[in-house]
Amino acid sequence: MLTGLKNTFRIKELRGKILFTIAMLVVYRIGAHVPVPGIPFQGMSALFTSAGDTFASGAMALLNLFSGGALSYVSVFSLGIMPYITSSIVMQMLQAVVPSLHELAREGEVGQTKITQYSRYLTLALALLNSVGYLFLFKSFGIQFTGAEAPEVIFDIMIVGTLTAGAMLIMWIGELITQRGIGNGMSLIIFANIMAGLPQAIIQSMDGGSVAIITTLVVVLVILCVIPFIVYLERGQRRIPVQYAKRVVGRRIMGGQSTYLPIKVNTAGVVPIIFASALLYFPAQLAVFFPNVGWMQAFAGALSSGWINWILNVVLIVFFAYFYTSMVFNPDETAENLKKQGGFIPGVRPGKQTAKYIKNALNKITLPSAVFLALIAIVPSIVFSFTNNALIQAFGGTSVLIMVGVVLDTIDKVESQLKMYDYDGFFK
Confidence of residue 51 (pLDDT cuts 50, 70, 90): very low
Confidence of residue 15 (pLDDT cuts 50, 70, 90): confident
Residue 57: inside a domain, yes or no? yes
Q: Whole-structure pTM over 0.85, yes or no?
A: no
pLDDT tens by residue, 349-361? 888 888 888 888 8
Contacts of 80 (CB under 8 A, 6+ apart): 63, 66, 67, 68, 70, 71, 167, 170, 193
User: Is 38 within 8 Å of 84 (Cβ atoms)?
Assistant: no
pLDDT tens by residue, 369-405? 888 888 887 887 777 777 777 677 666 677 787 788 8
Contacts of 203 (CB under 8 A, 6+ apart): none
Q: Nearest to residue 198, comparing CAs of 338, 63, 393? A: 393
Residue 231: inside a domain, yes or no? yes
Into how many domains does the chain fold? 1
Residue 146: inside a domain, yes or no? yes
pLDDT tens by residue, 75-124? 888 888 888 888 887 887 787 778 888 788 777 778 888 888 888 999 99
**Do strands 237-244 and 258-264 pair parallel, antiparallel, or not at all (unpaired)?**
antiparallel
What pLDDT sits at residue 23?
A: 92
pLDDT tens by residue, 128-182? 988 887 887 777 666 666 655 667 778 888 888 999 999 999 999 988 998 888 8
User: Is 301 within 8 Å of 54 (Cβ atoms)?
Assistant: yes
Confidence of residue 422 (pLDDT cuts 50, 70, 90): low
Beta bridge partners of 303: none
Q: Where residue 368 sits, what CATH number does that domain have?
A: 1.10.3370.10
Residue 426: inside a domain, yes or no? no
pLDDT tens by residue, 305-338? 677 878 888 888 888 888 888 877 888 888 888 8
- How confident is the model over 49-57, as a mean pLDDT? 47
SS (H, E, C) the chain: CHHHHHHHHHCHHHHHHHHHHHHHHHHHHHHCCCECCCCCCCCCHHHHCCCCCHHHHCHHHHHHHHCCCHHHHCECCCCCCHHHHHHHHHHHHHHHHCHHHHHHHCCCHHHHHHHHHHHHHHHHHHHHHHHHHHHHHHHHCCCCCCCCCCCHHHHHHHHHHHHHHHHHHHHHHHHHHHHHCCCCHHHHHHHHHHHHHHHHHHHHHHCCCHHHHHHHHHHHHHHHHHHHHHHHHHHCEEEEEEEECCEEECCEEECCCEEEEEEECCCCCCHHHHHHHHHHCHHHHHHCCCCCCHHHHHHHHHHHCCHHHHHHHHHHHHHHHHHHHHHHCCHHHHHHHHHHCCEECCCCCCCHHHHHHHHHHHHHHHHHHHHHHHHHHHHHHHHHHHHCCHHHHHCCHHHHHHHHHHHHHHHHHHHHHHHHCCCCCCCC
395 vs 238, more confident: 238
Residue 425: inside a domain, yes or no? no
The parent domain of residue 389 ranges over: 2-420
Backbone φ and ψ for 43, nearest 5 degrees, come out as -65, -25
Residue 427: inside a domain, yes or no? no
Backbone φ and ψ for 31, nearest 5 degrees, come out as -60, -30
Residue 282: inside a domain, yes or no? yes
Question: How far apart are alpha carbons 303 and 316 in whole angstroms?
Answer: 12
Backbone φ and ψ for 17, nearest 5 degrees, come out as -65, -40
Q: Nearest to residue 281, comparing CAs of 259, 318, 313, 258? A: 313
Residue 115: inside a domain, yes or no? yes
